[in-house]
Amino acid sequence: MNWEAVIGLEIHVQLATKSKIFSGASTEYGAEPNAQACAVDLGLPGVLPVLNEAAVAMAVKFGLAIGAQINLHSVFDRKNYFYPDLPKGYQISQFETPIVGAGEVNLLLEGGQQRRIGVTRAHLEEDAGKSVHDLFPGQTGIDLNRTGTPLLEVVSEPDMRSAAEAVAYFKKIHALARYLKICDGNLAEGSMRCDANVSIRPVGQDSFGERTEIKNINSFRFVERAINHEIQRQIDVLEHGGKIERETRLYDPDKDETRSMRGKELSADYRYFPDPDLLPLVFTEAFVEDIRAQLPELPEARQQRYCEALALSSYDAAWLSNDPDVANFFDATVAVCSNAKQSANWIMGELAAVLNKADLDITASPVSPQQLGQLITRLDDGTLSSKTAKTLFDALRTDDAEVDVLIETLNLKQMSDSGELESIVDQVMADNPAQLEQLRGGKDKLLGFFVGQVMKLTQGKANPQQVNEIIRSKL
Ligand code: ADP
Ligand code: MG
């Protein structure tokens, strides 16, 4: 039987506000456990939540960026459940009327295929605390610093059909959140987590199969692996006559498997009701329009600009526009050298390799966009050869000097004095009489040998094009 996967993601985006969603406590990452939980976060009696306006503005910004319906009237509800890291006994969330309604996201898949993924809704909620199981033998520690951190939960339609599509969608939401500056995007610190809902059905069947939900995956690689595993597990179960149970599963990256955590709660289990401590959230059209006016250029628009105005391939354009910091670096480089294709090549090649190796963010690049732009300018005007440009690039990694100064001090200027080059060509010909004979006899392949010898003697500073011409004229 041929099976098709059906996948829907719920992505929790941690909003980059300074304080919590309903209290003034700091959201800064990495503080001493329980140093940043105030009376409101702790759920002490007699305190009242006060909504953080910045979180509201960020949710609206996201909604506008995916062309979603913005609900001017929405409601905060209590989602009731017991857990040690949830001191109030309920989480404040939005249930029937979320702040952001239906929208959509476009994906460009590898191979150039386009996919449109529906977003059902996005709602505001508070995060719970953290249970720490591996610090105290036989005990669990509770850290409530994260309690009350604002989250935007983005729920997709069950529109994805493979793990690769799910990863592309997750990456797209990640890129959007970074562009909009509503989230720092740090997956390792848990700033974006995703729950993957997975089911399978025979190819050609219209109705969906029963699904499972894999909780709390926090890396692109794990999303792909967890979903592929779950698809295979479900195929095995069904092909052996079994039944898929609606349940919540956990992905274990060490064992590379998913395992059952608990039966799936249905929404009725949570006894949702409007939080009597909070008024409905109401804002004006003008508030929304104000935010719309501040929207930055988004990844798709940037990618299109790179293709159309700068004539980059769609692969290069997608690569560069995905991360706003990379795109800004690229723009700054092109502003200096006006050569988009070369800038793309250097950033995606040499620079990416250096950053990867040193595990550096592009914002911490040892070579600045100004330096790279000047290097490309000197390559374009013939001062540098491709070989000496690489030498210069390596030097720039540890040297902050001006590009032109470094070219002088390292003696990297390409030789263009044709008299000097001619005498070097004469010397190489005199030193290699046998090869010269063959070349004269028509063995054109040996041209490369002679050019190579000249390049070697000039330490890569000769212009290979010019050397070629001189050799030909001498023949
Ligand atoms: P719940 O209330 O259990 O969270 P929702 O209806 O909100 O359920 O859906 C949660 C997620 O599950 C959504 O992203 C949705 O696209 C996805 N989903 C729903 N049905 C299926 C299915 N049959 N297979 C895979 N994903 C599904
Ligand atoms: Mg859900």
Q: What is the pLDDT of residues 215-265, one digit of tens each?
A: 999 999 999 999 999 999 999 999 999 999 999 999 988 888 888 887 777
Closest C-alpha to ligand 1, atom 19: 158
Q: Which ligand is nearest to the CA of 265?
A: 1
Mean pLDDT of the chain: 93
Count the neighbouring beta carbons within 10 Å of the beta carbon of residue 159.
21
Report the pLDDT value the prediction gives residue 457, as an integer from 0 to 100: 86
Beta-strand pair 77-80/273-274: antiparallel
**466 has a pLDDT exceeding 90:** no
The whole-angstrom separation of Cα 75 and Cα 68 is: 18
> What is the distance in A from the centroid of ligand 2 to the CA of 95?
10
> What is the distance in A from the centroid of ligand 1 to the CA of 423?
76
> What is the distance in A from the centroid of ligand 1 to the CA of 203?
19
Mean pLDDT of 198-223: 95
- Please give the number of the atom of ligand 1 that sits closest to the Cα of 157: 16
- Please give the number of the atom of ligand 1 that sits closest to the Cα of 159: 16
Cα 467-469-474 angle, rounded to 5 deg: 95
Closest C-alpha to ligand 1, atom 17: 8
> Phi, psi at residue 246, to the nearest 5°?
-65, 115
pTM: 0.85
Closest C-alpha to ligand 1, atom 14: 8
Q: Which ligand is nearest to the CA of 247?
A: 1
- Nearest to residue 156, comparing CAs of 112, 113, 198, 122? 122
Lowest mean pLDDT among 84-93, 177-186, 270-279, 420-429: 420-429
> What is the distance in A from the centroid of ligand 2 to the CA of 414?
63
Closest C-alpha to ligand 1, atom 13: 8
The whole-angstrom separation of Cα 171 and Cα 176 is: 9
Chain segment 87-129, per-residue pLDDT in tens: 999 999 999 999 999 999 999 887 778 899 999 999 999 999 9
More confident residue, 444 or 60: 60
Q: How confident is the model at residue 401 (pLDDT cuts 50, 70, 90)?
A: confident
**195 has a pLDDT exceeding 90:** yes
H-type alpha helices, 265-298:
285-293
* Distances, alpha carbon 243 to alpha carbons 151, 196, 263, in Å: 34, 19, 14
Coil, helix or strand for 259?
strand
Q: Which ligand is nearest to the CA of 196?
A: 1
Report the pLDDT value the prediction gives residue 432, as an integer from 0 to 100: 92
> What is the distance in A from the centroid of ligand 2 to the CA of 219?
19
What share of the chain has pLDDT > 70, as a percent?
100
Report the pLDDT value the prediction gives residue 187, as an integer from 0 to 100: 93
Residues with CB under 6 A from ligand 1: 6-10, 155-158, 197-199, 208, 211, 267
Mutating to test ligand 1, I would choose from 197, 206, 238, 272 the residue with most ligand atoms within 8 A of its C-beta, which is 197
- The helix or strand, by DSSP H or E, that contains position 195, with its residue range, turns out to be strand 192-202
- Nearest to residue 180, comparing CAs of 172, 170, 190, 188? 172
> What is the distance in A from the centroid of ligand 1 to the CA of 119?
12
More confident residue, 134 or 342: 342
**419 has a pLDDT exceeding 90:** no
Report the pLDDT value the prediction gives residue 458, as an integer from 0 to 100: 84
Q: How confident is the model at residue 408 (pLDDT cuts 50, 70, 90)?
A: confident
**185 has a pLDDT exceeding 80:** yes
> What is the distance in A from the centroid of ligand 2 to the CA of 284?
29
> What is the distance in A from the centroid of ligand 2 to the CA of 420?
75
The whole-angstrom separation of Cα 426 and Cα 422 is: 6
Report the pLDDT value the prediction gives residue 145, as an integer from 0 to 100: 96
Q: What is the DSSP letter of 70?
A: B
Coil, helix or strand for 157?
coil
**439 has a pLDDT exceeding 80:** yes
